Structure 1
Amino acid sequence: MSDADKLQGHALPGVAEALRRAALRARELARQTHTPVVVYRNGKVESQIPDDTARAGGAERREG
């Protein structure tokens, strides 16, 4: 077992949750400033404008 494998078990448990919190904060800030959020979904890059459900991760797709 490499050192990286040993660290992975200890260092990564909180990473997914931290990324979720960062995404929610980014969506909330984008909602407040009427700024689109760029996401990669289903193999495509999409621009979305967060709606009032941004705190729950909601966003509406933006055409163009």
Structure 2
Amino acid sequence: MRQDLFKARNPDLRASLAAMQRAAATARQVAIQTNTAIVVVQGGKPVRITADQLRKEF
């Protein structure tokens, strides 16, 4: 999928992966600041990650 994005003709589409990564990082930071959990999909299943788990990652 990444290769497809890098080869896209539309410059906005090429930049979308980086934008999603920035948004995910911001969501993690906000979750830590507000002591809330986030939900991500891993292996096709939703996984809840607590603020404490996020703090250990950073």
TM-score using structure 2 length: 0.71
Bigger helix share: 2
Bigger CA radius of gyration: 1
Structure 1, unaligned runs of 5 or more? 1-7, 54-64
1:1-33: per-residue Cα shift (whole Å, max 9, x none)? Answer: xxxxxxx51131110000000000000000111
- Which protein has greater RCO, CA pairs closer than 8 Å, 6+ apart? 1
Secondary structure of the structure 2 residue equivalent to 1:9: coil
RMSD: 1.2
- Deviating runs (4+, > 2 A) in structure 1? none
Equivalent of 2:55 in 43, 51, 63: 51
Structure 2, unaligned runs of 5 or more? 1-7
Q: Report whether the alignment pairs 1:9 with 2:14.
A: no
Aligned length: 46
TM-score using structure 1 length: 0.65
Aligned-residue identity in percent: 33
